[in-house]
Amino acid sequence: MREIADLDKARTAAVLEELERRQRAKEDRSPGRGKLVAAVDGSVYWLSKHWLAVLNTLAFFYIGLPILAPALMRGGVEWAGRAIYTIYSPLCHQLPQRSYFLFGPQFSYRLPELMEVAGESVSGPWANEFLGSPALGYKIALCQRDVAIYGSILLVGVAYSLLRRRWAIRPLRWWVYILLGLVPMGLDGGYQLLSYVLPLVFPGIGLEPYETTALMRVITGTLFGWATVWLAYPYLDESMKDVRASLERRFGWT
């Protein structure tokens, strides 16, 4: 019975191999489809080898452009600076009291300090449209917490690309990710949001608006970015290795 089962498995494997051979031959007879499939396979193979460099490059530009915006404003290229602010406006609230400023006397400002110079416009519903001034400097196009998140993703991603060659880095455990990555940011940012929203919904609640500090935004954002890379990148690394090995076996690539 075992010999019959082994024979059936061998026949099944032979049939599957023949079907795969016919499918490849069919694709080869269709020049257009064959070229498209080959191009897709080649692109996937390239990505499986260079995925980390791609993600680090994307993180570099994602954090770099918002920092470039105030430099463009200061340099007189306002149309380009404003374009960057506009592009990032759906991605971040860009409130001036929660943003870093460049080319001014201070790196960050509390809301009362901004109101002394810019008036009520920085505290109204369109406060995010305030980009800065020669006297205050110009804000980065991402808030302090987002700068910390994506900056740490870039730095930890670069560190991961160097360390993975020497050590096998295991993914961060889920409970550690939740405890260190999600909980601190959720408590800090979540309470800040509720302190502004709840009095609008329940006017008699008596809750004073809470504004967290730049330091807390940096700490919680950095923890989230660091934990996200440590959780996701080892899984991505293993997946890309499997994809690369599969394509190498199929096509004989090295």
Give the pLDDT of residue 250.
81
Return the pLDDT at 247: 84
Please give the structure tokens belonging to residue 57: 């490059």
What tens-digit pLDDT sequence spans the chain (254 residues)? 555 555 555 666 665 565 665 565 555 545 555 677 778 888 888 998 999 999 999 999 999 999 999 999 999 999 999 999 999 999 999 999 999 999 999 999 988 888 888 887 777 767 888 999 998 999 999 999 999 999 999 999 999 999 988 888 899 999 999 999 999 999 998 888 887 777 777 777 777 778 889 999 999 999 999 999 999 999 999 999 998 888 888 877 76
Between CA 88 and CA 66 the distance in angstroms is 8
DSSP output for the chain: -HHHHHHHHHHHHHHHHHHHHHHHHHHHHSHHHHHHHHHHHHHHHHHHHHHHHHHHHHHHHHHHHHHHHHHHHHTT-HHHHHHHHHHHTTT----GGGEEEESSS-S---HHHHHHHHGGGGTSTTGGG--EETTTEEEEEEEHHHHHHHHHHHHHHHHHHHHTTTS-PPPPPHHHIIIIIIHHHHHHHHHHHHHHHHHHHSGGG-PPP----HHHHHHHHHHHHHHHHHHHHHHHHHHHHHHHHHHHHHH---
Q: What is the pTM of this model?
A: 0.81
Q: What is the pLDDT of residue 182?
A: 95
φ and ψ at residue 105, rounded to 5 degrees? -70, -20
Long-range Cβ contact pairs of 108-115 (< 8 A, separation 24 or more)? 108/144, 108/214, 109/136, 110/211, 111/211
- The span from the CA of 234 to the CA of 225, in Å, is 15
pLDDT score of 3: 53
- What does the pLDDT read at residue 184? 94
- The pLDDT mean for the chain works out to 85
